[in-house]
């Protein structure tokens, strides 16, 4: 069901959560049950627990009218800062499948700050699988679809160079990031 854009939970509660260092609690990442990110956000806000749920506007398919929804950038995850008692309260929501404690809060805040900045630019933002040098990937789009290789280098313009094994030979190919997906181990 599509909800009006103004009826969605705010993405950042409270507004200064990512910048205010004196707010109590520890950062945690909740893995939500299927499609329950917004419900958990509303639950947390209702109990005064700070959270960040990055969302982007996505056009919904339809023939009669143009509709948009806010969709979570990281499907199934919400970031929140709370005490141990508030963590227990969050579990009582019945929206959480599991919680991960964040060990490097400074790194998380830097990452979330960059995510928030990218979203605020109102430019297209697309979720991507995390790919690093040395990962085994498969090309899923384009004329080389189906080939597998190892990420050899990530250049600054977000093009990937792959070593593709073909007939026991190596072949380097420049390919755009949206054309590959990591192979699960």
Dump pLDDT digits (tens) for 89-133: 999 999 999 999 999 999 999 999 988 988 888 777 766 667 888
| Between 153 and 18, the higher pLDDT residue | 18
Structure confidence at residue 167 (pLDDT)? 47
Handedness of CA 154, 100, 8, 21 (dihedral sign): negative
Q: Helix, strand or coil for residue 103?
A: coil
Domains and CATH numbers, the chain: 8-120 (3.30.70), 136-182 (2.30.30.30)
Q: How far apart are the first and last CA of the chain?
A: 35
Which runs of consecutive H residues, i.e. helices, occur in the chain?
A: 37-46, 84-91, 105-120
Say how far apart CA 180 and CA 147 lie, in whole Å: 10
Beta strands in the chain (DSSP E): 12-13, 26-32, 50-52, 55-60, 67-72, 77-82, 96-101, 136-139, 148-154, 159-166, 169-176, 180-182
User: Would you say the pTM of this structure is higher than 0.85?
Assistant: no
């Amino acid at each position: 069901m599509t909800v009006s854009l103004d009826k969605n939970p705010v993405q950042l509660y409270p507004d200064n959560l990512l910048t205010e260092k004196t707010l109590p609690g520890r950062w945690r990442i909740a893995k939500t049950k299927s499609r329950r990110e917004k419900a958990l956000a509303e639950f947390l806000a209702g109990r005064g627990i700070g959270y960040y749920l990055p969302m982007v506007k996505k056009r919904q398919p339809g023939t009669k009218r143009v509709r948009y929804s806010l969709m979570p950038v990281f499907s199934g995850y919400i970031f929140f800062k709370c005490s141990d008692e508030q963590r227990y309260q969050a579990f009582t929501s019945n929206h959480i499948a599991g919680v991960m404690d964040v060990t490097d809060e400074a790194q998380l805040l830097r990452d979330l700050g960059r995510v928030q900045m990218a979203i605020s630019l109102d430019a297209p933002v697309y979720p991507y699988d995390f790919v690093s040098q040395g990962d085994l990937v498969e090309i899923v789009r384009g004329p080389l679809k189906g080939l597998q290789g190892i990420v050899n280098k990530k250049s600054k313009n977000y093009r990937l160079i792959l070593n593709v094994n073909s007939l026991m030979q190596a072949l380097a190919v420049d390919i755009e990031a949206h054309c590959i997906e990591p192979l699960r181990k």
